[in-house]
A and B are shown apart, each in its own frame.
Chain A
């Protein structure tokens, strides 16, 4: 079993829809990262969270440490949100070795 699993792998939405991307992990962790990779390859950090919920603009990230699960929500989705969304957790729980999910490819159609 992979240490980090994301679902869905691919997601197509209509502009304005509410989107949820899920990340499950198998080890205890100190923090989880959500990243965004646009076509053309640049990667930016969206969130780093260890408990509860964080919000930035139309993006919301939640984490349930007990259930080893995190979700990334996008409200009022827009075509510019089209990207690959990646979650990552420390390998072995609390080290500096990050393990990444394979990503969720999101396409938001106008």
Chain B
């Protein structure tokens, strides 16, 4: 099993450009999520999904869009990049039991710089 695969690992964008961060998992996990990590702050939840066709907002959803058309994939779209979106992004998945999230499996992270 590859686990959680995130691409790209590095990306530089200009303000206003759009892009998609890809996340795929091969563990048949129901729960997938995107986080951003900024210096001095904990990981913050952007969006999450508890199954195909079901997504919901996290703590910092503005400027980001997600969809979950398959169990395996959960892409994160930046609609119009802003310098404030410069960050390291992590995708994570887990088995999702009733009312709780199981052990988390993280991708390697994507470092995004918006100029």
Contacts and interface: CB of A to CB of B under 8 A. Distances in A.
Contacts of A101: 42
A7 interface: no
Contacts, number: 66
Q: Give the contact-size bracket for chain A.
A: 20 to 34
Main secondary structure of the interface of B (DSSP, over half): strand
Interface in A1-51: 4, 30-31, 33, 35, 41-45, 48, 50
A86 interface: yes
B48 A97 contact: yes
A100 B106 contact: no
Interface in B73-115: 88, 90, 92, 96, 99-106, 108-109
Interface of B: 31, 33, 35, 40-45, 48, 50, 58-59, 88, 90, 92, 96, 99-106, 108-109
